[in-house]
Amino acid sequence: MNYNFCVYSDKQIRVDMYLSTLFQDFSRSFIQKIIDKWQVKVNSQEIKKNIKIKNKDKIEISIVITKAKVEAEDIELDIVYEDENLIIVNKDAGINTHPVPWEEGKRWTLVNALLHHTKNLATIGWEERPGIVHRLDKDTSGLIMIAKNDKMMKYLQDIIQRREVDKYYIAIVAWKFNDKQFKIESYIGRHPTDKIKMTTKNPINPKIAITNWEVLWYIDWKYSVLRIKLETGRTHQIRVHLSSIWFPIIWDKVYGDSDINREVMKSYWLTRQALHSYKLWFELYKKRVEFIWELKDDMKKIVMIWNIIL
């Protein structure tokens, strides 16, 4: 794998800290190892792991990795649509979209399930992410597209890049949202000190993110049910945007409110973030198609109590 980019940072920072924050899939120890093997250059010079980099420094990374094979596993899939080119799955919460590098990270993922379901998956991109066009967070449920061949993969990547795929979500957030409709536009990037988080405040390598939502209903006048439409697809975008304006998604373990999470668990037995991708709308085979799928049971239980019709 090769990466070439310029640093975007308002202060000097150790190169190993910067890269481990920027690349969530790589630990700091892994970054240090590839620096020691001279696989990282700054401004065309070989470096040591403790040097500090600054804004506009040029970084070149050439990583040689021996990857463990991702095995097929017999995991039940909730398939919404399938043909010879495309699969659309209603992903459960609690399952990663693709393998991750930490312990046991190559097991019990959507990719493992897909490899058991079919041998036909696109090969463009990372070896450990066959067919994966876009991701859903581990604790987010809902619709996700998988390409079964490289031609479909390229097509889906292109229409996503051109913002021609409309993605809609249902979220339950803390507090009563008074504005019936709302739009937030900001830059999102890696948190400067916490590699798990994304942030709108002093982010590393920020990119523009645009989120629209409308209020569907209130639950007990202290939680709001939102319908959300994404214009961009940044990592953790919905969760970060809602948290940044003090309306975190309930039971979000990273960006949420721990007191509210405990209250929600006690009242509704919900133990994952209340975020569900329920609708995809895009052009397929020269026709505009729409896929809509209902909430998973844990979120549906909360919503149906209040007779909300989606």
* pLDDT for residue 130: 92
Work out the average pLDDT over 297-304: 87
* pLDDT for residue 304: 67
Closest by CA position to 280, among listed 152, 146, 145:
145
Work out the average pLDDT over 219-237: 94
pLDDT at 301 over 90: no
Query: Are residue 91 and residue 172 in the same domain, yes or no?
Result: no
Work out the average pLDDT over 200-228: 93
Tens digit of pLDDT for each residue in 93-131?
999 999 876 545 678 999 999 999 998 999 887 778 899
In a domain? residue 139: yes
Give yes or no for a contact between 142 and 293, defined as CB atoms under 8 angstroms apart. Answer: yes
* pLDDT for residue 127: 76
Give yes or no for a contact between 103 and 68, defined as CB atoms under 8 angstroms apart. Answer: no
- Which percentage of the chain shows pLDDT scores above 90? 68
Query: Are residue 180 and residue 205 in the same domain, yes or no?
Result: yes
Query: Are residue 197 and residue 281 in the same domain, yes or no?
Result: yes
* pLDDT for residue 29: 78
Residue after which a domain boundary falls, among 37, 62, 87: 62
CATH number at residue 18: 3.10.290.10
* pLDDT for residue 278: 96
Neighbours of 169 (CB within 10 A): 23
Active-site residue, from 57, 137, 252, 257 = 137
In a domain? residue 272: yes
Does residue 137 have an active-site annotation?
Answer: yes
Work out the average pLDDT over 144-160: 96
Tens digit of pLDDT for each residue in 155-175?
999 999 999 999 999 999 999
pTM of the complete model: 0.80
* pLDDT for residue 67: 53
E strands in the chain: 2-6, 13-14, 40-42, 45-46, 52-53, 58-62, 79-82, 86-91, 141-147, 166-174, 181-190, 198-199, 204-219, 223-230, 275-284, 287-292
Count of domains observed in the chain: 3
Map tokens 């209603």 to a residue. 90
* pLDDT for residue 306: 46
pLDDT at 66 over 80: no
In a domain? residue 178: yes
Mean pLDDT of all residues belonging to the chain: 90
